[in-house]
Every structure is written in structure tokens, then in C-alpha cells.
Amino acid sequence: MKIQLFLWASLALLPAFSFAQQKEVRDSASMVVKTGIDTAQESKRDKQLNVYNPRKAAIRSAIFPGLGQIYNKKYWKLPIVYAGLGISGSIFVYNLKWYKRTRFA
């Protein structure tokens, strides 16, 4: 019983520790017009920034759990997602089994 309570508490607190990292994005109003080589350097730096659309990530994650993390190239979060799903599924099956055993007691 204490183990189940610990697992549920850890699953409830897990999202608090896994915030998505938001990268800085500059809007077009604050950009200064540059010429020649400076513009080429800016475009290279923007390509290296890798800004992803959070809406696409959320939709992909809703279709298949963990697909949003793959889209954002945050592969280290996949084991956390699947561990959470596995633990909650196993607790559900365990409690259902004990409920069926003790239903008519």
C-alpha cells in the first residue's frame, strides 16, 4: 500500500520536474536591417537555433505518446514518458486483480 502511494505521488510530481525548454525567439519588429556578410551570418545562426512549433509537438504527442519529444529532439525524455505509462498501467492491473479477488469477500 505504501509503495503504491509512493508511485502515485512520484507520478503526480513528475511533470513538475520536466518542464519543456523554451528557446528565445526574436520577433521581426526588433530586428535591425543588416547588409552583406552580416545577413548571411544571421541566417546561419537562426538555422542553428532550431525553434520547434509547440503545437505540432502537442498534436504528435496526442497521437502517439513520446512522439512530441522525438519531434523536439529531446530523446532523453522518452524513457520517462514510457516509464510513467508502464507504472500507471501496472498499478491499474494490480488493483483490478485485487478488486476482483476481494469483491465478494
What is this structure's pTM?
0.46
Of 16, 22, 97, nearest to 53 by C-alpha is: 22
* 30-68 per-position pLDDT tens digit: 555 555 555 666 666 656 667 788 899 899 989 998 898
25 DSSP 8-state letter: -
- Residue ranges of the domains in the chain? 35-105
Q: How far is residue 21 CA from its own chain's centroid? A: 10
* 60-95 per-position pLDDT tens digit: 989 998 898 898 888 999 999 899 999 999 999 999
